[in-house]
Amino acid sequence: MNFNTSLSYLLRFSCLLALVVIVLGAYVRLSDAGLGCPDWPGCYGKLIVPEGSNSQIEQMNKAYPERPFEKDKAWKEMLHRYLASALGLTILILAILSWSKKQFSSIRLSSSILLALVIFQGLLGMWTVTLLLKPIVVVFHLLGGLTILSLLYWLMLQTQSAGRFFVSKGNAELRPVVAIALIVLFCQISLGGWTSSNYAALACPDFPTCQGTWWPKMNFFEGFILWRGLGIDYEGGTLDGAARTAIHMTHRIGAVIATIVIAYVALRNIFSETRNLKFTGTIVLMLLTIQILLGIANVKLSLPIFAAVAHNGVAALLLLSLVTLLYQCMDHRK
């Protein structure tokens, strides 16, 4: 197996694992299992979820009276930690190979950046627990995961291009609009994370109106205070109705803007003269449509867990599809 092939397989595995960790993280958060283990990095002082015998449960509940042991939630949280640790180990291997093997020297800088990011991501994971699901930490944890996924995917695209995959003639005119679409999507994902971490997804139980009106009572100032001090338990949310409504409505307005921008970019690529850009543009438009439908379904069906998790997963796939477009527009052919 040659260098490009082995590196390609390793990066494919890393990308898939990163995507699984992001989707599983969304599931853990949305199933209210984010504090299923009140300590870090273990769970009730153990590296493996305790069996939960009567005596053990009694001891754990005494140690953490504010967080009674729930085995299902604990396993969800620890499974996420195990897979996140596996991702960190994979990135560490990439970094070690890049510095120890001459064949991998081309990814030395990228793998080093990824290693620094994954270490910081681990710290964010710890703070997510120790700071009791503080919204700003949860949002940064989400964005950190997506950044790591995007960088791994970009490296994968580079190795795939050596095998004539994802190659296009490039289109310099499209680069700025694709980059803008990426920024808009990243901001919209941030708003989605803020909405979820503040438990504001159901602040508007109807669609397209909110609470029976187009402009309900809202408190934007209260809804977007990023830091509220220490020692606050954010599980279940701490904001009043007007603040949560402001967050939800901002996310909806952002969705309209993101839809217009991303749809424009997708159509520009669909009507380009390059076959690969046409194909990727079509994928972008399909994912955007699915994402809009999932957003509406979350409101109409009162946030069913499947639709809510899928909303997070499709957002990640939409991000990767735009990253693909940007890569193709840059023309990396030799």
**Cα–Cα distance measured from residue 85 to residue 17, given in angstroms and rounded to the nearest whole number:** 10
Q: What residues are annotated to the active site?
A: 77
DSSP string, 24-91: HHHHHHHTT-TTSSSSSSSBTTBSS-----HHHHHHHHHH-TTS---HHHHHHHHHHHHHHHHHHHHH
Instruction: Mark residue 215 as left, alpha or beta (left: phi above 0; alpha: psi -120 to 50; beta: remaining).
Output: beta
d(CA 13, CA 9): 6
Q: Retrieve residue 262's tokens.
A: 């991303």
Rg value, the chain, Cα: 21
Q: Are 222 and 242 in contact (CB under 8 A)?
A: yes
